[in-house]
Each structure stands twice: as C-alpha cells, then as structure tokens.
Amino acid sequence: MTDANHSTAGHEGNPSQGRRLRFEAFEVDFRERELRNAGVRVNLQRKPFQILELLLRQPGALVTREELARHLWPDLHVSFSHSLNTAVNTLRQALGDSPVTPRFIETRSGLGYRFIAKVEEVAEKVPAAARKRYDSREGPYQDYLKGKYLQSKLTRAELGKSIAHFEAAIGQDRRYAPAYAGLAETYISSGALGLLPPREARRKAQENARIALDIDPCLPEARIAMARVCHLFERECEPAEAECLRAIELHSDHVDAYMQYANVLAASGRLPEAVHKVRRALDLEPLSLTVLAQAAWIYYICRNFEEAANQSWQALILEPRFAPAQHTLGLAYEQMGLYEEAITELNNAQQCSENNVAILASVGHTLARTGKPKEVEAVLEKLSQLSREQYVSPYWLSIVHTGLGAESGALTALERAVEENDIWLIWLKTEPRFDGLRGTLGFARVRDRLEDRLSSSKA
C-alpha cells in the first residue's frame, strides 16, 4: 500500500475481512478482540492488538507508520515513534516473531510494516445439532468401531481385517464418512509399516480421505486423515497444520488431532510447540496406550529422553507387552547411554511385534553402537530377507548404517529413500540418530535433493 490516505474501509471485498482470521497456529477473533495460539488465549494489550488488526485487514500490503499512528492515536498530533516501536515489539513477542527473520511482520525501514504470512478466514463452527450423527448403535457404526479397534493393533493381519470392516460399513451406507476416514488411516499405517509401497499407500489414503471430506467437511476424523496425508506423503507442513487446527476447531477435545499436530510440529523442528500439544493429548487421555507411546516418541524427537522413557513406562505398566512403548523405551535408553538396557527393551519389542522393520533397524543401530558387527550383519540379512516379502524402507537401512558409522552406506540409503518418496523422511530434520550426519556435505546434498523433489512435484 503506497497511498498514505488509504484506510481499511476501502477493503470491503477483501476475503480477510471476516470476523475470525487464522495464520499458522494463531487465530484472531475481531468481535471478541481475542488472539489465540492453538486454542490458548494470548494476552495482548489494546494497542498491539489494533496493529495486528490493521495488518491482517491488509495482508501483504505495506501499512505505513503514519497510517498506524492515525489508527492508534487519532486525536494526537505529537511524536508517536517510540510508542509505535514499543507496541510493534510487544506484538512480535506475543507472536514469537523476529524482526531479523520474520515469519509474520516484515519491517520496511522508515516506511512501515507488512504482514507476510498466509491469512485465511475461519468458517463459523457448525452447531452440534446440525452435524450429521454417525453413532447409531446398529449398522455401519458397529463395523466402524470394529475397524478402529483392529486398526490400533498395527499388524498385517489386523490391518487387513480393519479394511474389511470399514468396507462393510460403506457397503451398508455409501456416505458413511467415518469409514472412509478409517480406510485412509489404515492405508497410511500400512504404508508406514511397509505393508504397502509408498506410492500405493499414498494413492489409497488420499482417495479415501478426500471422499470422507467431500461427504462431511465437518468430520474431525476426515480432517485428521487429510492432515496425515499432507504431512507423510506430501511433506507439506502448512496444509497439515491447517487440517489439524480445523479438526480441533470442530472438536476441541479430539486427542488424535493434538497428537497429529504434535507430529507435524516435531518433524518440522518446532519442538516446544510439539511438547505443548503432547501434554494436551495426555491430559485428555492419560491411560491410552497409543497416546502414551506416541508421546514417548515426540519426547524422544525433542531430545527429552528421560521423559520419553517415563511415558514408555507409563504405557508398559498398563500393558507389559506393548511393542511401541518397548521400542521408544529402548530408543531413550540408547540415547542415555544405557546400551544393555536398550538392547533388552528393543529385543522385547521385536519379540512382541510382527517383523516391524523400524524396531529391527533400531536393534541393528544399537548393536552397532555397542561394537557387535556380526550381530549387525545378521540384522541387515534379516532386513534383506524381509525386502523379498514386503516393502523395506531405505530410511531404516540408513539408521543401521549410521550406527555402524558407515556414512557412505547411510547416505546411499537416504538417497534411495528420496527417490522412492519414502514417508519416513519426514523425520530427517529431527531424528536424533542422524545428528552425527547432519554436519556433513553428503547429508546436505540429500536434504537439498529432497527439497528439489518436493518442489518439482508441486510445479
């Protein structure tokens, strides 16, 4: 905006003129004069809020210092420079923004400011009475519940049975949106476990998540499934985050939405925010095995290994043979230097799982760290055998080679993972076991190649 006399009144047709606007995890309600960060209210004084309001009403446009002064102090004709600087700095602190590397507010020296993040209008919540109900005690609902239960077991046999139940629900009601969301989640899990190649898992998950959303855009489960598709298969954090926020908006206590949001944040390096979402999920379901194991993984990624071990133990107290928690406990012990304990827990996890490649790779990595090359060779041979029966992610091969200190082998496996669009690459930025590789030129080349591939796929 270059005209100093321009005002917000001239933006009647701007789509950002809605009552509620969202940018990243923040949401602004102009009627209530509230700023929230992932649903948590942020205390913001009146003047900084007025600046935010004016910037959001004109996203991407230059708002001059003179216009801001007239907006904040309309009846004063004195120097406003210091007060304006203070108010802008207060706003930046509330947003966690930096004047040097801004995510939200860009300074145009001597001129004014621009709001540079993507801004979208938030649709009004659909009243609960207007939402379609799916929880009848007969018909497709029963098959849906059985599908969800079997899906949580995360084995080849159980996932196959869950698909059958979701399809049975759809057979009874072609517009039963939760079943399509359930199918999407099952195909995502199948891809993560190597039971389907990444390309096939992506196609089936995306197709079913889209059907669920087309049928019912207000179904939180459909939003969460689409968030996982965006994050795992497309590695697009911004759309994934938006889907998580929409799910939370539709159902403020939906634990899966908070856990998926934590995954998005942790994978992208926003670790304190990820921990915040994990704690919210734990508050909602403190006795859920799945939530406890996922929380342990997030704490592991955030390098809080003691808390990762603690959350793993909380799950194992409830179910001593729960492989995901045994796995995260082993990972935490390894990072804490407790190698014998780590190998014990990882072997326990392996015995309680069904050829889980991630667990097998973790066993290999820890054995390598403890100087047992012959046993590591046995792990690599087992992975080779499994590759003749199912998809074995090169990502996990790179984990084993990293434990051996075999930089060339680790990087070659990661390059293959990039070519195959492997879904586990979402953790490339934050997985602790890659810390020793991150400073190398080869790792930087892998990261750049991944970015190039993502850019070309969007072109």
Question: Which residues are within 8 A (CB) of 89 and not within 5 positions of it... i.e. 6 or more apart?
Answer: none
- Choose one of 65, 88, 121: the last residue of a domain: 121
- Choose one of 121, 148, 166: the last residue of a domain: 121
The whole domain housing 445 covers 354-454
* Residue 38 included in any domain: yes
pLDDT of 239 over the 50 cut: yes
* Residue 331 included in any domain: no
136 vs 234, residue with greater confidence: 234
What is d(CA 113, CA 117) in angstroms, rounded to the nearest whole number? 13
What does the pLDDT average to over 348-369?
Answer: 91
**pLDDT band at residue 104 using 50, 70 and 90 as cut-offs:** very high
Please state whether the predicted TM-score (pTM) of the whole model is above 0.95.
no
Q: Give pLDDT tens digits for 176-203.
A: 999 999 999 999 999 888 888 888 999 9
* Residue 360 included in any domain: yes
Name the pairing type of β-strands 34-37 and 63-64.
unpaired
- Phi-psi label, residue 438: left if phi above 0, alpha if psi -120 to 50, beta otherwise: alpha
pLDDT at 122: 74
Residue with tokens 């598709």: 229
* Residue 437 included in any domain: yes
* Residue 131 included in any domain: no
With b meaning 16 or more CB within 10 Å and e meaning fewer, what string describes 252-287?
eebbbbbbbbbbbbbbbebbebbbbbbebbbebbee
Q: For the domain that residue 28 is a member of, what is the CATH number?
A: 1.10.10.10
* Residue 420 included in any domain: yes
* Residue 202 included in any domain: no
* Residue 283 included in any domain: no
Name the pairing type of β-strands 20-23 and 112-115.
unpaired
Hey, CA dihedral for 60, 64, 65, 68, is it positive or negative?
A: negative
* Counted domains in the chain: 2
pLDDT at 277: 93
Q: Give pLDDT tens digits for 114-153.
A: 999 988 887 655 444 334 567 665 678 889 989 998 888 7
- Choose one of 121, 137, 160: the last residue of a domain: 121
